[in-house]
Amino acid sequence: MDERELTGIGATPLSGIGTARWYRPDADLALPDPDPEGDGESDADFDPATERERFENARERAREDLETERDRARERVGEGESEIFDAHIQFLGDPQIESGVSEAIEGGYGAEHAVQRAFEEPISQFEGMDGRMAERADDLRDVRDRLLRVLLDRERTDLGGLPEGTVLLADRLTPSDTVQLDPEQVRGFVTATGGRTSHAAIFARSLAIPAVVGVGDALSEIEEDEEIAVDGEEERIVVSPGAATRERMKRSENVDTRSEPVSTADGEEIEIAANVGRPTEIEGAIDRGADGIGLYRTEFLFLDRDAPPEEDEQRETYADALDTFPEGRVVVRTLDVGGDKPIPYLDLPGEENPFLGERGIRRSLDPDGELFETQLRALCRAAGSGEGELCVMVPLVAAIEEFEDARERFEAVLADLDREGIEHARPAFGVMVETPAAALMAGELAERADFLSIGTNDLTQYVMAADRGNERVTGLHDPRYPAVLRAIRSTVEGAQGTGAWVGMCGEMAGDPALAELLVGLGLDELSTSAVTIPEVKAEIEGIDRERATALAERALGATTRAEVSDIVTRKEVQDT
């Protein structure tokens, strides 16, 4: 059979070949027409009180399931990505949807049809928007279908148990669907809808699964069990691939990982590290050519247990990571928890806005002080046991006093270890810059810190006053806004002349299209999801520092996100 090619949007720069299997989750959620006569009234006889109770019970069950999936997603795809499930929990209590359900029930509809009717208008509203906002309709569908499955007592398809060699085809994949996929079994997935910023695409990058989204209606022409080649880098899929395509895919699968450090075209070395959320991700980072770990999240050590990890357990975990990069650097972020991350043995407050509450360093300096000191002891001991360079980074610093207090405790821990005669070393001690206050005070922080690492996900959230988990303001959560770029520049300039290096962790660092801009802004290190490391390294090698600096100056002079996007896309440098 001849090859057939379809084009879409590449979600990951990866490729794979496998057998097509269709996923049609709506098939088991079809509801009978409650108004066959078309007069706007339900012909069934429902008791409103009973139906309202059924809805409340379903909503509570859906909330519990979402919390469980959020925790699983945090382990599999990372902390930031898992926050979409917090947004889904918010949708469950959305006043517009709740009011729609109540009105439909009062109008004589059962809970199932009431849910279906209540979600119709909000989904339609999102679908009528542009860009990333249109993709939020899938999140609402996910929440709606979750409620319907509870009300109809239907089980969702287990996508975690797909046969090996599967290429999954679907009209759309929700976050709940995508997070189930096993990269060892799935050779790729393809969707008719979606874009590069959809949650399915983001999860695909975190899981390192080849994916092409937004293929359109032509995808429906592919039949079950046909052989499919998914080429995320070339943004296409090939049905019934021939020998030449197979050979090309085989070469593509053998990624040019560039295990050695890379330099710009004019010889300036830029470290490209990996963001890691648990030890099992380290091997993948090495395979993709990471120079080290630029963000090692430690929350996995503290979650899903009844008591905090002992010092020795922590030391061993950190030392193991250090051993994997004997000539590199491992940056470990101290425990970053708050009211949005339930840990049973900690007294975490239920806060109206936990992202502006007691979290990160604020907890480490007060209610979790003993936990913080134990973690520092383990990190200092790990630093003395390996050949690599261990760095300790404290999160959510907003005041000089906070970092000074943290540093005093760090020095006290080192003194205690000296006095006790326990083998250890002094790791570099730095700040995660993710608040506007830290960016504005970067010079003063750099005088006291060994390094600064910019967390662009949260920095964008706070600079733009746009909650990362609130789908209604997701358009503002974009680091290409001039205000965010100027906060980054403020951080870099503040560190100049202090001896502190400046890195970046977050999704912005993993976008190859922004690599030249980031080099021009003066970053020494970029840390990203492992799957994008080869592409970022390849981009770095072609960058001229002088041209990059000129590009950054133009972007910093822009006044809108659209202007910045245009400058970065065209990469035109005007003579000054």
- By annotation, the residues acting in catalysis are 199, 505
CA distance 412 to 538: 43
Tell the residue number behind the tokens 């390849």, with chain if given.
538
What whole-number distance in Å separates Cα of residue 186 and Cα of residue 455?
31
Give the rounded distance of the alpha carbon of 513 from its chain centre. 18
Q: For residues 69 and 180, give the distance between their C-alpha atoms in angstroms, rounded to a whole number.
A: 9
- And the tokens for 524? 């020494």
Burial class (CB in 10 A: 0-12, 13-18, 19+), 133: middle
Neighbours of 96 (CB within 10 A): 13
The CA-atom distances, in angstroms, between 104 and each of 26, 101, 109, 350, 438 are 22, 5, 6, 32, 49
Q: Looking up tokens 């895919």, which residue turns up?
A: 249
Rounded distance between C-alpha atoms, residue 575 and residue 368, angstroms: 54
Bridge partners (DSSP) listed for residue 189:
168, 211
- Pairing state of beta strands 451-455 and 501-505? parallel
Token pair listed for 438: 């830290």
At 18, phi and psi to the nearest 5? -165, -170
- Closest by CA position to 418, among listed 373, 370, 381, 371: 381
Q: Which residue type does 209 have?
A: I
For 431-489, what is the HEC assignment? Answer: EEECCHHHHHCHHHHHHHCCEEEEEHHHHHHHHCCCCCCCHHHHHHCCCCCHHHHHHHH
Classify residue 571 by its DSSP letter: -
Angle at 505 between CA 500 and CA 509, to 5 degrees: 110
Contacts of 332 (CB under 8 A, 6+ apart): 293, 296, 298, 318, 321, 379, 390, 391, 392, 393
Cα–Cα distance, 83 to 461 (Å, whole number): 13
Dihedrals phi, psi of 193, to nearest 5 degrees = -115, 180
Distance CA 42, CA 51 (A): 14
* DSSP three-state, residue 217: helix
Q: Which residues contact 130 (CB under 8 A, 6 or more apart)?
A: none
Q: Residues in the chain, how many?
A: 576
**Residue 440, both tokens:** 């504005």
Distance of CA 79 to the CA centre of its chain: 6
